[in-house]
Amino acid sequence: MRKVIALAGNPNVGKSTVFNHLTGLRQHTGNWAGKTVECVSGTCKRGSTVYEFVDLPGCYSLSSHSREEEIARDYICLEGPDAVVVVCDATCLERNLILLLQIMEITPKVVLCVNLLDEAKKKKIHVDLQKLSGELHIPVIGCSARSGEGVEQILDAIESLQEKSKEQTGIVHQACLESVDPFVKRARKLCERAVVYEKAEYDRKDRMLDCLFTGRVTGFLVLFLFLFGIFWITAAGANIPSAYLQKGAFWLEEKLIEGAVFLGISPAAYEPIICGAYRVLSWVVSVMLPPMAIFFPLFTLLEDFGYLPRVAFNLDKCFQKCRACGKQALTMCMGFGCNAVGVTGCRIIDSPRERMIAILTNSFVPCNGRFPTMLALLSLFFVGSTGAATDSVLAAVCLSFVILFGVGMTLLVSRILSGTILKGMPSAFTLELPPYRCPQVGRVLINSILNRTLYVLGRAVLVAAPAGLFIWVLANVQTKDVSILQHCVTFLDPFGRMIGLDGVILMAFILGMPANEIVLPIILMTYLCQGNLQDISDIYLIKQILTENGWTWLTALNTILFSLLHWPCGTTCLTIRKETGSVKWMALAILIPTGVGVFICFLNTTVVNFVTGML
């Protein structure tokens, strides 16, 4: 026997955590409204019955004011699940019961799961489950899904449901669901009878933290400090494992070459694979994996703690003034890890116009792949590379200001787009500030490494190997005694120097489109006239190579700016094509940041040269 069970509930009530415990899946639970925008299913078996659980998007009602509400309502009404389990938060039950009462208007086969009883106990909130069950005439169970306590009782409650005829389940009139007031009144009366608050100011601690994290002045200061802290820990912690990975990868490369020579394989056959595809692949892994393995867990800890919705709250007014959606702040935060993930996250924005603005501007915040180049150049030309602890701190501070500049460009370009090709007024949206929760470090590490780090790394690996082969061909195939790569560099050089760069730098960015991590290695390879990426770990030698080829602090600054403001990587471009269903929008997503980057570099070069000439 197979039964389909729908899981419904408000955002941030632990619904997806309940789903994970029941099905054994490890779907990531976002701590903001609208993270789940599609129905995800999983199964579990008890006896002869197979239960298919469908995790519906979190929503506050079924009045279809948002995409999440439409998906949840249509599934319950049209798909006719065998039962609906409504997950509610024990710490704010009154608001959660509104959705439950609306669902009970659609189907009588409902189970109420009161989650987060552990948090309610800490806040001296007591919920009488038996009284709720008696008042609602449905099974009511309590659980603490984070620890798994009581989750199995959901299956008992589903089995206890009496069989009811299909005629009782059907579509109710929209007008019935639109009239929210009766549901609000009944929810209030239910809570008055079944919920006891021992402490009148049970949420005082949360409100005090909100004064700090969302204050007009302190909110942005804390945001900058968190941003700095994440970048500093990432920069300081990634160097050692990255060096070991790189050393191991090049050791393996030597063994592969020795093996190829021993087998009598021609260099023309093994060099493109080993010195081209494998070397670029190993460079991407060694440079990209350690920062991601540090950055994503730190970012997820803030998310699990409940801080990211506060970031959206702080930036909401900024995006509203730009006539964009405040949810764009959330998709922008996702872009720090990977712009492709940020583009996919734009699904949480209901308005097609505002969703497009968020997609087109997501690459203005640098992804994890651009951090190594920026940090290296900041350390070489603006901070110092003595190895002192203050160097990494100063580099993180400088990088934080570069990131803030990217956020500013996001706001500026969003305003320009909303006033030109994507005209319109900003839409309103409901943003819930969830309670602060102690992050589950173990679960965060597993989710961030498996669901984020390895996922993003896997996509980079898929494009890095073919890119390495292509770069090797350009660098080694010659016409008129000059490689194709050098011909391209010569062609691009006049334009590059006009914007404070050179042909080598521009060509490196073009070839680095599949993976931004290889931009600096390509620059070094081209300056040295080598046919392969070079393993140069000595930071003093890197600076010497760059300065001998005409680099100044202005060149480094323009390279940092262009790294921040240029076309998205290949993976992000393909994601934009998939999300928008249009090559035109993908082309625009490439042209907009590139145009801005060229203009900023040209303006910066012109102003600096003018001031220098005056002095």
Mean pLDDT, to the nearest integer, of 559-579?
91
Chain position carrying tokens 């199995």: 152
User: What are the pLDDT digits (tens) for 238-252?
Assistant: 778 888 888 888 889
Alpha-helix residue ranges (DSSP H) falling in 448-567: 454-476, 484-498, 503-511, 519-527, 539-548, 553-564
Residue 28: the pLDDT is 44
Residue 39: the pLDDT is 66
Chain position carrying tokens 């006539």: 323
User: What are the pLDDT digits (tens) for 158-211?
Assistant: 988 865 444 444 444 454 555 677 888 899 999 999 999 887 777 788 889 889
What pLDDT band is residue 597 in, cutting at 50, 70 and 90? very high
Chain position carrying tokens 């039964």: 3
Tokens describing residue 241: 């494992």
Mean pLDDT lowest among 29-33, 34-38, 574-578: 29-33
Chain position carrying tokens 């998205």: 568
Chain position carrying tokens 């590139």: 594
Is 385 in contact with 539 (CB distance < 8 Å)? yes
Contacts of 30 (CB under 8 A, 6+ apart): 36, 303
Distance between CA 99 and CA 82 in Å, rounded? 18
Residue 460: the pLDDT is 67
What pLDDT band is residue 85 in, cutting at 50, 70 and 90? very high
Residue 166: the pLDDT is 43
The better pLDDT of the pair 104, 396 is held by: 104
Mean pLDDT lowest among 393-402, 526-535, 606-615: 526-535
Distance between CA 385 and CA 425 in Å, rounded? 48
User: What are the pLDDT digits (tens) for 345-399?
Assistant: 888 787 889 999 999 999 999 887 788 788 888 888 887 655 555 667 787 788 8
Mean pLDDT lowest among 167-181, 253-267, 495-509, 561-575: 167-181
User: What are the pLDDT digits (tens) for 317-333?
Assistant: 888 888 888 888 888 88
Q: Is the pLDDT of residue 67 over 50?
A: yes
The backbone torsions φ and ψ at residue 107, rounded to the nearest 5 degrees and listed phi first, read: -140, 140
Residue 106: the pLDDT is 86
Mean pLDDT, to the nearest integer, of 281-307?
80
Q: Is the pLDDT of residue 523 over 60?
A: yes
Largest CA distance in the chain: 89
What pLDDT band is residue 456 in, cutting at 50, 70 and 90? low
The better pLDDT of the pair 78, 176 is held by: 78
DSSP symbol at 430: -
Q: Is the pLDDT of residue 29 over 60?
A: no
Mean pLDDT lowest among 304-308, 432-436, 508-512: 432-436
Residue 408: the pLDDT is 93
Residue 385: the pLDDT is 56
Q: Is the pLDDT of residue 429 over 70?
A: no
By CB neighbour count within 10 A (0-12 exposed, 13-18 middle, 19+ buried), where does 384 fall? middle
Distance between CA 523 and CA 501 in Å, rounded? 12
Is 407 in contact with 332 (CB distance < 8 Å)? yes
Interstrand relation of 140-142 and 195-197 (parallel, antiparallel or unpaired) = unpaired
- Average pLDDT score over the chain: 83
Mean pLDDT, to the nearest integer, of 395-423?
90
Mean pLDDT, to the nearest integer, of 499-522?
88
The better pLDDT of the pair 167, 587 is held by: 587
Q: Is the pLDDT of residue 223 over 90?
A: no
Residue 338: the pLDDT is 80
Percent of the chain with pLDDT over 90: 30
The backbone torsions φ and ψ at residue 44, rounded to the nearest 5 degrees and listed phi first, read: -145, 155
The better pLDDT of the pair 405, 542 is held by: 405
Q: Is the pLDDT of residue 278 over 50?
A: yes
Whether pTM > 0.85 for this model: the answer is no
Which amino acid type is present at position 398? C
Is 235 in contact with 377 (CB distance < 8 Å)? no
Residue 232: the pLDDT is 81
Residue 65: the pLDDT is 62
Element (H, E) at 113: strand 110-115
**Torsion of the alpha carbons at 70, 75, 80 and 81, rounded to the nearest 10:** -130
Distance between CA 245 and CA 281 in Å, rounded? 12
Chain position carrying tokens 């040269």: 609
DSSP symbol at 214: S
